[in-house]
């Protein structure tokens, strides 16, 4: 599969899944309620070093009474535009990952959460395995929600330049029992240099079957 065909396949798969949601109504898989998310991310590198756009398909399962409350698979296609020595270099990036989430409810409105992810990234320049741990707090009142948290992202095989700590913040709105929208602002720092790495803006739509 070519780099250019991967984003097309990703968007086509998302469209086909979203066109027939009613056929999946009230369905359970392995005791969990399925969902399908579609996330768009625009990232700006610090000091004018470039930008990137990414599209991620997120099929998942939610479990109400289980030790793990959410299992997601992330299928991502990204296009980076990096400026180095005055030259704009374009790179196509692909990622595939598995993510688990555990909630800790404090009361009807407040909850803590912990997420862990393991995945692989590959492009024309390098391939490596990576992971991250998310920890944060979520507030919900009615259909509105608000979250804030930290992400600790590391490579698993020593590949340099990809270890980052991130601050994540943003609201969500549950339109009804099936439709939800989330907005996120993400600021990232390089772990080794402790310098600002990037700012990102994320919009995600999720259909809950």
User: Do residues 121 and 144 make contact, with C-beta atoms less than 8 angstroms apart?
Assistant: no
Is pLDDT above 70 for 23? no
Nearest to 203 by CA among 10, 77, 39: 39
How far apart CA 154 and CA 35 sit, in angstroms, is 27
Cα gap 106→118, rounded to integer Å: 27
- Unique residue bearing structure tokens 């000091």: 47
Q: What is the DSSP letter of 64?
A: S
Domains in the chain, ordered, with CATH?
A: 5-208 (2.40.128)
Please give the pLDDT value at position 95.
97
Instruction: Take residue 49 and report the two structure tokens written for it.
Output: 């070093």
Model confidence pLDDT, tens digit, residues 54-79: 999 999 999 988 999 999 999 999 99
CA distance 131 to 163: 10
d(CA 126, CA 204): 28
Q: pLDDT tens digits for 179-195?
A: 999 999 999 999 999 99
pLDDT tens for 107-130 read 999 999 999 999 999 998 899 999
Sign of CA dihedral 128, 129, 134, 140: positive
47: confidence class by pLDDT, cuts 50, 70, 90:
confident
Mean pLDDT of the chain: 89
E-strand ranges in the chain read: 33-45, 50-62, 70-84, 87-105, 110-122, 127-141, 144-155, 164-174, 179-190, 196-208
């Amino acid at each position: 599969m070519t780099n250019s065909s991967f984003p097309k396949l990703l968007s086509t798969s998302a469209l086909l899944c979203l066109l027939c949601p009613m056929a999946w109504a009230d369905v359970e898989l392995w005791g969990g309620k399925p969902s399908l998310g579609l996330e768009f991310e625009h990232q700006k590198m610090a000091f004018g070093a470039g930008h990137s756009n990414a599209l991620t398909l997120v099929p998942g399962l939610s479990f109400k009474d289980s030790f793990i409350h959410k299992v997601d698979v992330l299928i991502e296609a990204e296009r980076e535009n990096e400026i180095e020595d005055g030259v704009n270099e374009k790179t196509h990036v692909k990622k595939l990952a598995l993510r688990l989430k555990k909630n800790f409810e404090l009361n009807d409105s407040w909850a803590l959460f912990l997420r862990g992810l393991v995945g692989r990234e590959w492009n024309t320049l390098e391939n490596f395995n990576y992971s991250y741990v998310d920890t944060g707090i979520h507030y919900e009142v009615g259909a509105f929600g608000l979250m804030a948290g930290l992400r600790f992202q590391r490579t698993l095989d020593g590949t340099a330049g990809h270890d980052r700590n991130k601050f994540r913040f943003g609201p969500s709105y549950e339109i009804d029992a099936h439709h939800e929208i989330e907005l996120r602002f993400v600021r990232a720092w390089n772990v080794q240099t402790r310098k600002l790495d990037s700012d990102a803006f994320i919009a995600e739509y999720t259909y809950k079957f």
